[in-house]
A = this chain, B = another copy of it.
Amino acid sequence: MTDGAVAVSPHPAGVPTDLMSLSYEPLTPTSFLDRAAATHGDRVAVVDGEQRFTYTELHERCRKLAGGLAAIHAGRPVAVLVPNTHVGLEATYAVPWSGVPLVAVNTRLAAGEVAYILEHSNASVLVHDPVFDDLVADALGRLEAPPQTVRVGDDYERLITWGEPTAVIPDDERALLSINYTSGTTGSPKGVMYHHRGAYLQALAMVGHTGLSPSSVHLWTLPMFHCNGWCFPWAVTAAAATHVCLPKVEPARIWELVRDHGVTHLNGAPTVLSMIAYAPEAGPVTTKVRVATGGAPPSPAILRRMAELGFEVTHLYGLTETFGPAMICDWRPEWNDLDGGTQARMKARQGVGNMIAQAVRVIIDDGADAPADGLTTGQIALRGNNVMLGYLHDEQATRDAAPDGWFRTGDIGVMHPDGYVELRDRSKDVIISGGENIASVEVEQAIADHPAVLEVAVIAIPDERWGEVPAAYVTLRDGATASEEEIVEHVRSRLARFKAPKRVVFTDLPRTSTGKIQKFVLRDAAWAGQERRIR
């Protein structure tokens, strides 16, 4: 703008401040429940076993739960440790409305890990399901100042009955909404800080890309503690669709729910898709089911099988740091004419930024963009409204992750000439097993802690069911002994069970001339002969 154009300046300076509120409401994903209650209040919001809640009921329960929590949380975060039940959904609304961030804890973690997260997040309240009573007791026993617990059942319902309806909306739409812990490259999980604005926009992108509508029925096969369920607790509600809860991923139960409730949408890692597709109960569905998958590329075989059953699979890509799926393999109509094999190869690409994301970059070593030649590898980098605020209490890690304002995913990929990104490797030492992240270093530290171990390297090895699993290569101290079972048990006593190595090899480790362990030598041997390999 040049001078002398005040009256029609692009900045609405001419609008009096008191009138600006007419056209402004802070973006928060909790508003989707307000809308659903106002517009679809009498329709079923949640199916959870025999329980049903309408949107009016869900709204009321969340507002009262918010009031109950506000009375006890003392301004500190509220953590939840629950399976995919109505409680997980209610927490995504009630905890923010109570005025504090939500910490949804991965239910597969070990007690020590849960204790770490509760302490690190400074949680004052832990809402937990009775199925985790033992885990909670163990975790809380490790803390000097354990949070107050609210046990799902009587405790929880009492809090709802007792709470005054409350809905705190932050003035700043970039206020802290939730803290999601992720295993990264370091040993301790990092607390990824989500903001209201990002979750709101990400939810709208999910609605747009998956075609959610009031006629949709979403089955909760994806854990709600994963990136707040990829923002689907908010997206499904934005569309006023129905949530169908699934406390455990059991194929027979999934097929029962798909058929009984006319499920139209579900999400999950390729491992979950395999369980569904190859279950004895599997059979073609009458209404198309839209499936979003991520964590690893879906194989041609699973894509073919899912298509036969009437499931349309979309491949997404993202990280905890990006509110879940920041990228989508956006299907192009012209690809419908390709042969099945080529279609599968197209669908295995991670794709493009989603509709609210900034354009994805593939950054080579000098900070420039890799040419879009499908060959030159670089690190996939993201920024924009669906990127985290940072890591809680770890400014340095945040800076390291975004050295130039672009968040480095740690994944190595190429940019194809059509603008689609495909992963080639991971630079961070992360193993993704059945959709769960495992930091190699975390497992290495646990094993190195064993008195018989001199040194250790943990890598991913291929696994038919989980895609990949951790394997440990261990050198024992002179004269010391340890069995494979002993090492595995040692890890299990410290970390979540899924992080324990599925194989332990006692060996000397390959090294560079300067003594650095050469993991790639181990990997090359382990993955020889595998067709697809993102390592």
A residues adjacent to B (C-beta < 8 A): 1-5, 7-12, 14-16, 19-25, 27, 31-32, 34-35, 38-43, 74-77, 96, 99-101, 121-122, 170, 172, 174-177, 179, 193, 195, 198, 201, 204-205, 207-209, 211-215, 238-240, 330-334, 351-353, 355-360, 383-385, 387-390, 392-393, 395, 398-399, 402, 405-407, 418-420
Are B419 and A38 in touch, CB under 8 angstroms?
yes
* Further contacts, 11 of them, CB under 8 A, given A5-B76, A11-B170, A214-B333: A1-B75, A7-B393, A8-B77, A8-B101, A22-B387, A23-B384, A23-B388, A23-B389, A39-B353, A39-B359, A40-B332
With both chains docked as a complex, state the minimum distance between the C-beta of A330 and any C-beta of chain B, in angstroms. 5
Q: A74-B2, A74-B5, A215-B331 known; A390 and B22 CB under 8 Å?
A: yes
Q: How many copies of this chain?
A: 2
Complex: A25 Cα to B174 Cα, angstroms: 12
With a cutoff of 8 Å between Cβ atoms, the chain B residues found around residue A384 in the complex are 23-25
Q: Are B355 and A99 in contact (CB under 8 A)?
A: no
Q: List 30 A-B contacts (CB under 8 A).
A: A5-B75, A5-B100, A7-B393, A8-B76, A8-B77, A8-B100, A8-B122, A10-B101, A10-B170, A12-B172, A12-B389, A15-B193, A15-B389, A19-B398, A21-B383, A22-B387, A22-B388, A22-B405, A23-B198, A23-B383, A23-B389, A24-B385, A35-B353, A35-B359, A38-B359, A38-B360, A39-B419, A40-B330, A204-B208, A214-B330
Q: What is the predominant secondary structure among interface residues of chain A facing chain B?
A: loop
> Are B38 and A353 in contact, with the CB atoms below 8 A?
yes
Which of A3, A12, A214, A398 has the most C-beta atoms of chain B within 10 angstroms of its own C-beta? Answer: A12
Task: Knowing A2-B74, A19-B398, A174-B20, say if A195 contacts B330 (CB, 8 Å).
Answer: no
Q: Which residue on chain B has the smallest CB distance to residue A262? A: B333
C-alpha gap A176/B27 in the complex (Å) = 19
Across chains A and B, which 3 residue pairs bring their CB atoms closest together, nearest first?
A39-B352, A2-B75, A38-B359
Query: Is there contact, CB below 8 Å, between A333 and B398?
Result: no
- Nearest-CB distance from A521 to chain B (Å)? 36
